[in-house]
Amino acid sequence: MITAHKTIKIKAIPILFVFVVGLLSPSKGQTKTDQSSTVPVWTEADRKYLLDNLIRSKQEIIDETKNLTKEQWNFKESPDRWSINQIVEHICLWELIQMNEVSTALQTGPFPDFTHYLPDSIFLDSDPNVSKKKVTTDFTKPFTYGVPLGNNEGKNNIIWLTTMQNESIEFLKNETRNIRIHYICFGPNIHQRYMMVFQHIFRHLQQIRKVKAHPNYPK
């Protein structure tokens, strides 16, 4: 699968955290820790960074899939590659997993005394090479839950995805808690998890564009 922009490089994190990749470096205003404290803080610059990218990724998915025919939704570059329909379904599956992890982290509560928190930089990859193929099942062994079945109509997958994206956007717009001290299994915090969410989408947007650029793609 093809990545867009930059790819996330995850080091020493439980397996569910290793699935993604691709876009921007953190915004200049992004603050990782309060200089007067060892406790990470979530700033308004952080909020804006996540919202800008989540809103952008949502709109780009809508734009890239608007008015596709059934043949276009289901076209494959080759039998072993995913169709646009399957790519969007795959994004939905991962989005659902991420939302569950975020809600679990919120319900578990904050850990302000946790000192082994990870810097944002490890969730970004400086390697711009987007040609490296990644296999979903490498990150979900022994299971295949990340592999789309392709049974849904493409437009229904868009409804599914944008519904989840809208909920995340509203959550981040209104959240007042310090989500940098809510952790996913003591790996990434919630802010970092959302970095992984939108980068995963940008990565697969590049894949969608590659499908559409194929010479045999239905016109």
Q: Is 218 among the domain residues?
A: no
Amino acid letter, 182: H
pLDDT score recorded for residue 157: 95
Question: Are 199 and 20 a contacting pair, CB within 8 Å?
Answer: yes
Per-chain mean pLDDT for the chain: 83
Q: How many CA atoms lie within 13 A of 161 on its CB side?
A: 30
Question: Best-predicted range by mean pLDDT among 13-22, 131-140, 169-178?
Answer: 169-178
Amino acid letter, 192: Q
Q: Is 36 among the domain residues?
A: yes
pLDDT score recorded for residue 100: 96
Q: Is 204 among the domain residues?
A: yes
Q: Is 29 among the domain residues?
A: yes
Overall average pLDDT of the 171-184 stretch = 97
pLDDT bin (cut points 50, 70, 90) of residue 90 is: very high
Backbone CA torsion sign across 58, 49, 12, 134: positive
pLDDT bin (cut points 50, 70, 90) of residue 17 is: very low
Q: Is 171 among the domain residues?
A: yes
Q: Is 1 among the domain residues?
A: no
Q: Which residue has the higher pLDDT, 3 or 74?
A: 74
Amino acid letter, 149: L
Q: How many domains in the chain? A: 1
pLDDT score recorded for residue 37: 55
Question: Are 6 and 22 a contacting pair, CB within 8 Å?
Answer: yes
* 121-170 pLDDT per residue, tens: 988 865 544 556 678 877 777 888 788 888 888 999 999 999 999 999 99
Overall average pLDDT of the 186-215 stretch = 95
Overall average pLDDT of the 199-207 stretch = 93
Q: Is 3 among the domain residues?
A: no
Here the CATH number for the domain that contains residue 133 is 1.20.120.450
Q: Is 106 among the domain residues?
A: yes
- Is the pLDDT confidence value at 20 over 60? no
In Å, the largest CA–CA distance within the chain is 58
pLDDT score recorded for residue 140: 79
pLDDT score recorded for residue 124: 80
| Residue numbers of the domain that contains 115 | 15-212
* 25-67 pLDDT per residue, tens: 344 334 444 434 578 999 999 999 999 999 999 999 999 999 9
